Amino acid sequence: MKKISKLRGMQDTDPIETSKINFVENSFDEISKSYGYQEVRFPIIESTDLFKRSVGDQSDIVNKEMFTFESKSGKSMTLRPEGTAGCMRMAIETGLLDAGQQRLSYKGSMFRYERPQKGRSREFQQLSLEAYGFNDYAIDLEMLEISNMFFEELSIKKEMTLEINSIGSQNDQQEYSKKIKDYFLKYKKDLDEDSLKRLEKNPLRILDSKNQDLENLIKEAPKIDQSISKESQEKFNLIKNNLADLKIEYQENPLLVRGLDYYNDLVFEWKSNSIGSQDTICGGGRYDSLSKIIGGRETNAIGLSIGLERLCLLIEDSTLNDTKSLLIVSLEDSFFVDGMKLASSLRKKLKNLSIQFSGKEKNLKTLLKKANKKNTDFMVIIGREEIKNNSYTLKKLSMNQEMKIDNFDSLLKNLK
């Protein structure tokens, strides 16, 4: 029969890569919890209208990249292309927004119909933080500080660059859109089909164009810092001053607008030049209008998302926690239960050790070959002599050493 393969752009993860992912996720969880963030979960499938209203119907995500289909009842549904809108919907629907300020975290798969390449696939995983109900710029700094600390914890900070910008309030953006439209109208004949559509409905989206032929035209466009209000500029200056005090290095990028319509004021991206063209590892910013856009009350909000697969490309295998492994071998069928009991007892005492029992397999020569092939660290052997003397034979395979252990407590001490 014809072999069935995974769908193009979807993800399979082997044990080695899964170990790396777990290491990264555990570090993310520890840091986010230390700042008071609580984990939430919400559906992978949402109403299509959620993303049309939040992300923006002129964005590439909505126009080109969403996996959208109809349910049996005819309702339009979409695999989530990003998590912020779904998290906000959940917070509104469950009453979290009415319960005061919220610091939330989540992780999981997102889906976008794109051409698969290194660092970009149709199914991708994100680690995200969202904070609701905080008006003060201290929360902006907290997001930047958490991401900075996370990258330091993973020993990849030296490969990362933080870019920041202020895109002002929604009113500022409307004023800026008029300037952008007037500018690009002068070069209408040079614009591609997508940019011509955006020119009429959302000129700001042209700045987010991936068309390299427009690169110079975009660079020469009016900058948003010429249009933002005094209040937004003061907030941005305070953030920059405090980043300097916190010794978090950054670059100001006046062309940074992010690809989603709901952002205002601070936007930021962490980039790496070590993984090719898909260089944005983390992105985020403020979105104080999102709640109202999707039917909630007006709520100050800010968030960040980290691309897990791109991040893992930067993680050296040597950075991972080195979990030691132990194989317990019983050399006769009559010692089978003794082997199982020993494995169970050691698992209760040694939480950070991977412990396996050979079961009915008792050919020591074969088991040693398999253990060495798998880079097993230790082997405990139970044979007639061990049963008779209530003792154990411990092999330290990586060092080619063998020890006779008198009792369980001594065995436990040696393994620790």
| pLDDT for the residue 55 | 84
pLDDT, one tens digit per residue, over 333-346 is 999 999 999 999 99
| pLDDT for the residue 61 | 81
Cα 67 off chain centre by:
20
| pLDDT for the residue 39 | 98
Residue 320 predicted with pLDDT over 70: no
φ, ψ (nearest 5 deg) of residue 38: -115, 135
Domains in the chain, CATH or no CATH each: 15-169+228-317 (3.30.930.10), 174-214 (no CATH), 322-415 (3.40.50.800)
| Element counts in the chain: helices (H) and strands (E) | 15, 16
pLDDT, one tens digit per residue, over 226-260 is 888 999 999 999 999 999 999 999 999 988 877 66
Treating both helix axes as pointing N-terminal to C-terminal, what angle do 138-153 and 15-34 enclose, rounded to 10 degrees? 140
pLDDT, one tens digit per residue, over 377-396 is 999 999 999 899 889 999 99
pLDDT, one tens digit per residue, over 391-404 is 999 999 988 899 99
| pLDDT for the residue 319 | 58
Cα distances (angstroms) measured from residue 156 to each of 15, 159, 302, 363: 22, 6, 24, 45
C-alpha 58/C-alpha 256 separation (Å) is 18
| pLDDT for the residue 378 | 94
pLDDT, one tens digit per residue, over 86-137 is 999 999 999 999 999 999 999 999 999 988 887 789 999 999 999 999 999 9
Beta-carbon count within 10 A of 29 CB: 15
| pLDDT for the residue 120 | 81
Residue 318 predicted with pLDDT over 60: no
| pLDDT for the residue 117 | 81
C-alpha 152/C-alpha 154 separation (Å) is 5
Tokens, residue 188: 């209408």
pLDDT over 70 percentage in the chain: 97
| pLDDT for the residue 200 | 80
List residues bridging with 330 in a β-sheet.
382
Residue 63 predicted with pLDDT over 80: no
- pTM for the predicted model, two decimal places: 0.83
59-63, 260-264, 366-370: least confidently modelled range: 59-63
C-alpha 372/C-alpha 398 separation (Å) is 8
Mean pLDDT across the chain, nearest whole number? 90
